A and B are shown apart, each in its own frame.
Chain A
Amino acid sequence: MLEIRNLHVSIEDKKILNGLTLTVHDGEVAAIMGPNGSGKSTLSYVIAGKPDYEVLDGEILLDGQNVLELEAHERAAAGLFLAFQYPLEIPGVATMSFLKAAMNSQRKIRGEDEMATADFMKAVRGAADSLGIPQDMLRRGLNVGFSGGEKKRMEILQMALLAPNFCILDETDSGLDIDALKVVSEGVNALRDPKRAFLVITHYQRLLNYIVPDTVHVMAHGQVVKSGGKELALELEATGYADYKTLAA
C-alpha cells in the first residue's frame, strides 16, 4: 500500500506539488490524469527518489515504511518500480547485461542470492516473447536506437522481470501503436495481483479500456483535485480539464 500525505515539493525554487494526498491499496490500479505540467511526472520521480527534488512537507509510506529516508536504489529493492515517460539510453551496455545487473543488485540489497544465469535467461526470454520483443534487441545497447514504442515495451519487460510490488507507469501508452498498446496492456494485466498495486499516469481514456482502473484521480496544480471510479475517465474525455484548472487555482 502506498500512502502519500500532504506532499509539498519544489525544484529549483519552483513549487510543483502543493499538498498532494493519495492512497493506493494493495491490488488496486489507480489512474492519474491531468493537464500537461500539472506535476504527474514530478510525483512519480519524487516517489522513486530522484535527487534534486526538495520535499518541503508531507510523507510517502510504502507498506508503512517511510520511503523518503531511502535512496532511489533502496526504494527499487523495496519493490518500487517506475516505467519512465522517457526511458534513458545506456550505450555499450547490452540490454541483457543491464537486466542481470539490476536484478542481482536488487537481490543483494534484499540479502538474497544471485539468480542462476540459466534461470535468468529463461525468465528474460519468456518475458520478451510475451511482449513481442525480438531476442536480438536484448543484445543491443539498452534503449540505444530503440523506437519510442520499443523503449516502452522494454520498460514493461523490466517491470515483469523485477516483479515489484508497486508500479508507476508514466505515460507508457504514448508512442505505442494500437497493437503495441494491446500487447503492453496485456503485459500489465498479467502482472495484476492482490499484492501488487499500480499507479497509471495517462492522458488517454483509451489505455484504461485495456488496463481497467479501480480508481481515477485528477491532478491539477500539484494536487489531486478529484477522485472517482473508472467512469471519471470517460467524463474527462468528454469535458476536458477546464473545470479543474480553475478549481485548484
Chain B
Amino acid sequence: MAAVQETVDQVKAIDVDQYKYGFSTELEVDKAPLGLNEDIVRLISAKKGEPEWMLEWRLDAYRRWLTMREPTWARVTYPMIDFNDIYYYAAPKMNAAPQTLDEVDPAILETYKKLGIPLREQEILAGVQTSKVAVDAVFDSVSVVTTFKAELAKAGVIFCSISEALKEHPELVRKYLGTVVPVTDNFYATLNAAVFTDGSFVYIPKGVRCPMELSTYFRINERNTGQFERTLIIAEEGSYVSYLEGCTAPQRDENQLHAAVVELITMDDAEIKYSTVQNWYPGDKDGKGGIYNFVTKRGDCRGKNSKISWTQVETGSAITWKYPSCILRGDGSRGEFYSIAVSNGMQQVDSGTKMIHLGKNTTSRIISKGISAGRSQNTYRGQVSAHRKATNMRNFTNCDSLLIGDQCGAHTVPYMECNNATAVFEHEATTSKISEDQLFYCQQRGLNPEEATALIVNGFVKDVLQQLPMEFAVEAQKLISISLEGSVG
C-alpha cells in the first residue's frame, strides 16, 4: 500500500489546523448587491443572457421559496441564516466569456494550479498528467473554463457550463431541468432554482461511451458569497459517463452557504457514475467558520436496465446535509451509493441516500462508512422504499461507523418502506471504535499513532475507495488522513 505511505507523508507535511486549501485569491470581481429579491434574480438571469422562459422559471421558484421553511429534521444545529446577508452573484471580472485558457485571469489559473487541478491541456497532453480528465472549473458564481471540449465534441458529447448550455442547447436544458429535482422539492433546492449561477451540463448521446473522465472543480473565493451551482447530466440510451466533482473554499471566519442541485438522468441501458470529493473548508477546531453544504442530488433511472452510481468522499464543510438518491423507475435499473463521511473537530454531518424502487427487478446497494473524531456528530440517514409495482426489488445496505476518541457521536437512521411482498431488504450496521489494543499492536510494529490510525481508517474505508477512479482514490485517501489529523495521541 504505497498510498499509505503517501498518506502519512502528507499528514506530516501539514500543520494541525491548517486547511491546505484555505488561501484566497485577490481578484477584481463583479458582484451583485447584497441580499435577495426579485431584482437580484432578474440581474443574475440578465448577467447570463438567459432566455425569457428561464427568467420566468427562476422567478416562479423565488416566489415559491418565499413561502417555504428550512427543513429541521436533520441532526444538525446552526444559527438562523440571514438570507439577505449573502451575495448571490460574484464573478471574476472578465471582458467576455473566455474562449481559450489564455483569456482567463492568470490569478485564477494560479489558484487552480495550487489546488492541483489539471486545467492546462497542454500539460496533460505533454504527459505531465498520467490520465486524461476533462475539467470544468467553477469559480464563485461562474464557470471559468472547460477543457477538452473539442475532443469531446468529436464523440458527440456535450460538456460545458450550464450557462453556456442555456445559450447553445436551450431545448435540451428546458426539456430536462427540474425534472428530477422539482422546483419545490425542498427549501434549498427551490432557492437554488431561483439563484443558481453556474454549474456543469453533460449530454452523452445514444450509444456513446464518454472517452474520458469528466470533472468539475468548484471553488468559493469571495467573502459572504453563496455558491449555488446546478449540474445536469443526461445519458441517452446505452451510453456511459463517469463524472467527478471536487470542491474547496478559502478559510473564512464566517459561515458560507453552498446549496447545489445535481440532476442525473439515465435512459435505457445507460450508466452514470458520479463521484464527489468534497473538501469545503470545515471551520476551525472550535467550530468557527466553515461551509454549510446543503445539497440536493438525485438521479432518475428512467430507462430500463439503467444504472446510477453515487460515490462520495465527504471530509469538509462545517455542516453537511446531503442525500444523493436514486429513483429506480426503469425495470431492472440499479442504484448504488458508496459513501465515506469523515467528521472531526466540531463538524456535523447528516448524510445518506434514498433508493426509491418503482420498477420491477430493480436493485440497490448502499455502502456507507462514517468516521467520527473530535467533538463531531456524524449521522447516516437512509431511506429505501419498495413501491407497489417494484416486484422482486432487492436492496442491500451496509453502514459502518468508526469512532475515534470518546467525544464524538455516530448515529444511524434507516427508514424502510415496503409495499410489495416480493421485496427483499438486507441491512447490516456496525459501530466500532479504533481500539487502544489495535493502535498498540500497530505501534509495536513501528507505526506511530498517526500512521496507525491512518492505516486502520484506510482499511475501514477500503470498500468505498475502490469505487473511485484510481487517481481520485489516492487523493481521497490523503484527504481522509488530513481530516483526521490531530484526532489521536
Binding site for B on A (CB under 8 A): 48-52, 71-73, 75-77, 81-82, 84, 87-94, 97-98, 100-106, 109, 114, 117, 141, 158, 162
Q: Considering only CB atoms, which chain A residue lies closest to B441 in the complex?
A: A88
Asked if B309 is an interface residue, CB under 8 A from chain A, the answer is no
Q: Is the CB of A51 within 8 A of B440?
A: yes
Q: Is the CB of B446 within 8 A of A106?
A: yes
Contact indicator per residue, chain B 369-389, by CB within 8 Å of chain A (1) or not (0): 000000000000000000000
Contact indicator per residue, chain B 443-465, by CB within 8 Å of chain A (1) or not (0): 11111110100011011111100
Give A170 Cβ to nearest chain B Cβ, in Å.
11
Interface of B, helix, strand, loop or mixed by DSSP? helix
Contact of A82 among B2, B4, B435, B444 (CB under 8 A): B444
CA distance A49 to B447 in the complex (A): 13
Q: Is the CB of A73 within 8 A of B441?
A: no
Contact of B444 among A76, A93, A114 (CB under 8 A): A76
Q: Is the CB of A73 within 8 A of B1?
A: no
CA distance A114 to B446 in the complex (A): 14
Q: Is the CB of A92 within 8 A of B440?
A: no
CA distance A75 to B445 in the complex (A): 9
Asked if B419 is an interface residue, CB under 8 A from chain A, the answer is no
Q: Is the CB of B455 within 8 A of A90?
A: yes
Q: Is the CB of A97 within 8 A of B1?
A: yes
Contacts of B438 in A (CB 8 A): 88-90
Known: A52-B436, A90-B455. A84 touches B447 (CB 8 A): no
Contacts of A90 in B (CB 8 A): 438, 441-442, 455-456, 459
With A73-B446, A93-B459 known, 18 other A-B pairs at CB within 8 A are A50-B444, A72-B440, A72-B443, A72-B444, A76-B443, A76-B444, A88-B435, A88-B441, A90-B442, A93-B455, A93-B462, A98-B442, A98-B455, A101-B455, A102-B446, A105-B448, A117-B2, A162-B445
Q: Is the CB of B443 within 8 A of A101?
A: no
Contacts of B462 in A (CB 8 A): 92-93
CA distance A98 to B463 in the complex (A): 17
CA distance A94 to B443 in the complex (A): 17
Q: Is the CB of B447 within 8 A of A105?
A: yes
CA distance A81 to B1 in the complex (A): 22
Contacts of B123 in A (CB 8 A): none
Q: Considering only CB atoms, which chain B residue lies closest to A84 in the complex?
A: B441
CA distance A72 to B5 in the complex (A): 19
Contacts across chains A and B counted by CB atoms under 8 Å: 89
Give A67 Cβ to nearest chain B Cβ, in Å.
13
Asked if B102 is an interface residue, CB under 8 A from chain A, the answer is no
Known: A48-B444, A90-B442, A141-B459. A101 touches B1 (CB 8 A): yes
Contacts of A104 in B (CB 8 A): 5
Contacts of A49 in B (CB 8 A): 443-444
Known: A50-B440, A51-B436, A92-B462. A100 touches B1 (CB 8 A): yes
Give B246 Cβ to nearest chain A Cβ, in Å.
24
Contacts of B52 in A (CB 8 A): none
Q: Is the CB of A93 within 8 A of B458?
A: yes
CA distance A89 to B8 in the complex (A): 21
Asked if B437 is an interface residue, CB under 8 A from chain A, the answer is yes
Contact of B459 among A50, A91, A100, A162 (CB under 8 A): A91
Q: Is the CB of A101 within 8 A of B451?
A: yes
* 16 A-B pairs (CB sep. < 8 Å): A48-B440, A50-B444, A73-B444, A84-B444, A88-B438, A90-B442, A92-B460, A101-B4, A101-B455, A102-B446, A102-B447, A105-B446, A105-B447, A106-B445, A106-B446, A117-B2
CA distance A75 to B460 in the complex (A): 27
Give A101 Cβ to nearest chain B Cβ, in Å.
5
CA distance A102 to B436 in the complex (A): 18
CA distance A94 to B460 in the complex (A): 11
Contact indicator per residue, chain B 113-131, by CB within 8 Å of chain A (1) or not (0): 0000000000000000000
Contact of B447 among A48, A101, A158 (CB under 8 A): A101
CA distance A89 to B447 in the complex (A): 15
Q: Is the CB of A92 within 8 A of B458?
A: yes
Q: Is the CB of A76 within 8 A of B458?
A: no
Contacts of B437 in A (CB 8 A): 88
Q: Is the CB of A101 within 8 A of B459?
A: no
Q: Is the CB of B458 within 8 A of A73?
A: no
Contact of B5 among A50, A71, A87, A101 (CB under 8 A): A101
**B2, B435, B447, B451: most-surrounded residue (chain A CB, <10 A):** B447
Q: Considering only CB atoms, which chain B residue lies closest to A87 in the complex?
A: B441
CA distance A71 to B446 in the complex (A): 10
Give B193 Cβ to nearest chain A Cβ, in Å.
41
Give B370 Cβ to nearest chain A Cβ, in Å.
15
For window 1-45 of B, CB contacts with A under 8 Å fall at: 1-2, 4-5
Q: Is the CB of A76 within 8 A of B446?
A: yes
Contact indicator per residue, chain B 400-443, by CB within 8 Å of chain A (1) or not (0): 00000000000000000000000000000000000111101111
Contacts of A82 in B (CB 8 A): 444
Contact of B451 among A88, A91, A105 (CB under 8 A): A105
Contact indicator per residue, chain B 91-120, by CB within 8 Å of chain A (1) or not (0): 000000000000000000000000000000
